[in-house]
Structure formats: structure tokens, C-alpha cells
């Protein structure tokens, strides 16, 4: 009987149909989705920290309002994604526990510090830009609850990307020499970590083949990285900044840009827990969880009281 279910599932996948929460699915498909969706949710929540660092120091009221809205959106994205992962039968407590104990991953990019205001614009341009490139195809992911969550998330991410690019463009066109230098410095620091966001090269990506077979991933890590680099080159030219890769050049034959070697040892070190801010990020999440204990207790006490009142 299991065989029959499996055949039917494979036929659905081959036909490009969506899988819903109540449909039969192989265990490994479920596990892969819980892994990816929960890591994605953790990334959104941890991703609030580097930018949150600048809310109280934004240069104008307008910039502060935009940044507040962006960081709140990221909190919202985390919540939709936890809800999508819960449909697969894993609880939010289990997911938080995995994050807080250091077992679960979150995106490498959020382990880098935000040193100046230009970092906020650069995160919008490059980090949200990379996130959109990776996430638009997930709107067509075979698991429907994840795909549906991604539609709204992508709309908001594109506002995030625009606001970052516009903030940098303002500094580059109307700013002082010092402000322009600050933008270039931020781009120098964020470029390589941003292109690492797409994950390891295809030949070192253990999950890619199966995830592509299942329609969870629609493009490979290297394909998305290449598309991102090609788009960023033109955007950098308009901004008037230099991307910190002397080997970056157009390849007429491939109709794509060649780029210099990526330092994968840095990537593995950061996802292994030893990046510039890993300890600080995790400690901030654990502290927030502990400080919020009284809220969870109060909500539970209230719910218990309501249900006894109803019974009476």
C-alpha cells in the first residue's frame, strides 16, 4: 500500500501539482521541508537583529519609519514560516528549542555586524536582493503552504530591496565624500557574504539533487548565484560603486559574468558557528525567549481561566 502512495505522490510531483498538508508524503520529503522552512523562519527572526541595531540611530524620521516597518515585516515573515512548518507536524517549541540549542541553522549572512548606516542600505540592496532571487522560485515550491507564504513575503522583500537601493543612491548622488566612502566600504564588506547566501557550490550541496527532484528547489545554488551577480553588476554601475572582485567580468560566450573564487572556508566556518557575530546573535535570541517567559505564562493562565469560565 505504501508503494501505491509513493507512486501517486511521485506522479503528482511529476505533473507539477501542489502537495497539501493532509496529503500523503514520504518521510524524507517532510523532513527536508521542516529543515528548510524552519531554517528560513529562524533566518527571518535572527535577521531582525543586525538591522534592529540601527532603528534608534536612523538619520531621519523617514528612514526610521521605513526601517521599523522593514524589521516588523521580517518578524511577520518568521511567523508565517513557522506556521507553514507547523503544518508538517512539528511544533513551534521544537523549532525554537533547535534554534536556541544551536542545532538549527539560520542564514550565514546574519552573523556579520552592521557597523555604519550604509550597512542598512547595503543589506536592503544586496541581502534582500539575494533573498528575492532565491525566494521567487519558492512561490512555485511543490509544498503548497510554503509556496503560499512565499507570495506575500516576496512582495514585501521587493519593497525592502528598493528602500535599501534608494537609501544608497541618495548617499551616492547627494552625499559628501565621506558618505560615499562609507557606502563603498559597506559594499566591500557585504558583497562576498551576500553571494554565499545561495549556499555551497552545486557539487558540494548534498540536498540539491533530491530537493530539485521534488520541486522544492527550482534552480540550483550556482544558477541563482549567477543570476544575482549578473543583476548586481548593472545596479552597482548605476550606483557608482565598485564590487570588490577584480576578476568580475562579462563572458560573451556564456552571456554571464565570470567571478573570482569564493572563500568557501569562510562560509563553512560561519555556518559552523564561528562567524563574527554567531555567539551574540544566539545569545540575543535566548535572552528574548527567557525574558518573554512571563508573557507565555500569563497567556496560558488566561486561556485556562477562560476555559473554566466556559465550562461553568
Contact letters for ligand FAQ, residues 217-256 (x by CB under 6 A): ----x-----------------------------------
Interface with ligand FAQ: number of residues (CB under 6 A): 28
Q: For residue 251, what is the DSSP state?
A: E
Position 122 contacts ligand FAQ (CB under 6 A): no
Residue 190's nearest CA partner among 237, 245, 140, 227 is 245
Collapsing DSSP to helix, strand or coil, 254 comes out as coil
**What is the number of the residue whose Cβ is closest to ligand FAQ?**
47
CA end-to-end span of the chain, whole Å? 48
Does 142 interact with ligand FAQ (rule: CB under 6 A)? Answer: no
Binding mask 50-79 for ligand FAQ (x = CB under 6 A): ------------------------x-----
Residues of this chain, 266-295, that bind ligand FAQ according to CB under 6 A: 271
147 binds ligand FAQ, rule: CB under 6 A: no
Cβ atoms of 178 and 245 within 8 Å: the answer is no
Closer to ligand FAQ by Cβ: residue 17 or 266:
266
Mapped onto helix, strand or coil, the DSSP state of residue 53 is coil
- Position among 38, 108, 142, 163 found at the interface with ligand FAQ (CB under 6 A): 108
| DSSP-assigned letter for residue 260 | P
Measured between alpha carbons, how far is 217 from 210 in angstroms, rounded to an integer?
A: 9
Strand partners, 143: 19
Residue 110: name the closest of 177, 17, 66, 45 by CA.
Answer: 45
Nearer to ligand FAQ, 213 or 296 (CB): 213
207 lines the binding site for ligand FAQ (CB under 6 A): yes
Please name the helix (run of DSSP H) or strand (run of DSSP E) that holds residue 158, with its range, or none: helix 144-174
Q: How far apart are CA 167 and CA 164, in angstroms?
A: 5
**Residue 197 binding ligand FAQ, by CB under 6 A:** yes
Binding site for ligand FAQ (CB under 6 A): 35-36, 39-40, 43-44, 47, 74, 105, 107-108, 123, 127-128, 131, 134, 196-200, 205-208, 211, 221, 271
Amino acid at each position: 500500500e505504501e508503494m501505491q502512495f509513493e507512486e501517486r505522490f511521485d506522479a503528482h510531483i511529476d505533473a507539477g501539482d501542489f502537495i497539501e498538508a493532509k496529503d500523503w508524503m514520504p518521510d524524507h520529503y517532510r523532513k527536508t521541508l521542516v529543515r528548510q522552512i524552519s531554517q528560513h523562519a529562524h533566518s527571518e527572526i535572527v535577521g531582525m537583529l543586525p538591522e534592529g541595531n540601527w532603528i534608534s540611530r536612523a538619520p531621519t524620521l523617514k528612514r526610521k519609519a521605513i526601517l521599523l516597518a522593514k524589521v516588523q515585516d521580517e518578524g511577520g515573515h518568521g511567523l508565517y514560516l513557522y506556521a507553514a512548518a507547523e503544518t508538517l507536524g512539528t511544533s513551534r517549541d521544537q523549532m525554537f528549542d533547535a534554534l536556541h540549542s544551536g542545532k538549527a541553522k539560520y542564514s550565514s549572512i546574519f552573523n556579520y555586524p552592521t557597523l555604519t548606516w550604509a550597512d542598512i542600505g547595503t543589506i536592503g540592496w544586496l541581502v534582500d536582493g539575494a533573498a528575492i532571487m532565491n525566494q521567487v522560485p519558492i512561490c512555485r515550491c511543490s509544498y503548497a503552504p510554503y509556496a503560499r507564504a512565499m507570495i506575500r513575503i516576496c512582495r514585501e522583500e521587493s519593497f525592502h530591496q528598493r528602500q535599501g537601493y534608494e537609501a544608497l543612491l541618495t548617499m551616492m548622488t547627494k552625499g559628501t565624500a565621506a558618505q560615499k566612502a562609507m557606502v563603498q566600504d559597506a559594499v566591500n564588506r557585504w558583497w562576498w557574504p551576500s553571494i554565499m547566501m545561495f549556499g555551497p557550490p552545486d557539487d558540494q550541496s548534498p540536498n540539491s539533487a533530491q530537493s530539485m527532484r521534488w520541486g522544492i528547489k527550482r534552480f540550483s545554488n550556482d544558477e541563482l548565484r549567477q543570476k544575482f551577480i549578473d543583476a548586481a553588476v548593472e545596479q552597482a554601475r548605476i550606483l557608482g560603486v565598485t564590487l570588490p572582485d577584480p576578476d568580475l567580468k562579462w563572458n560573451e560566450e556564456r552571456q554571464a559574468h565570470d567571478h573570482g573564487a569564493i572563500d568557501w572556508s569562510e562560509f563553512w566556518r560561519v555556518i559552523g558557528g564561528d562567524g563574527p557575530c554567531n555567539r551574540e546573535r544566539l545569545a540575543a535570541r535566548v535572552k528574548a525567549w527567557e525574558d518573554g517567559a512571563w508573557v507565555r505564562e500569563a497567556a496560558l493562565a488566561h486561556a485556562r481561566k477562560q476555559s473554566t469560565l466556559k465550562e461553568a
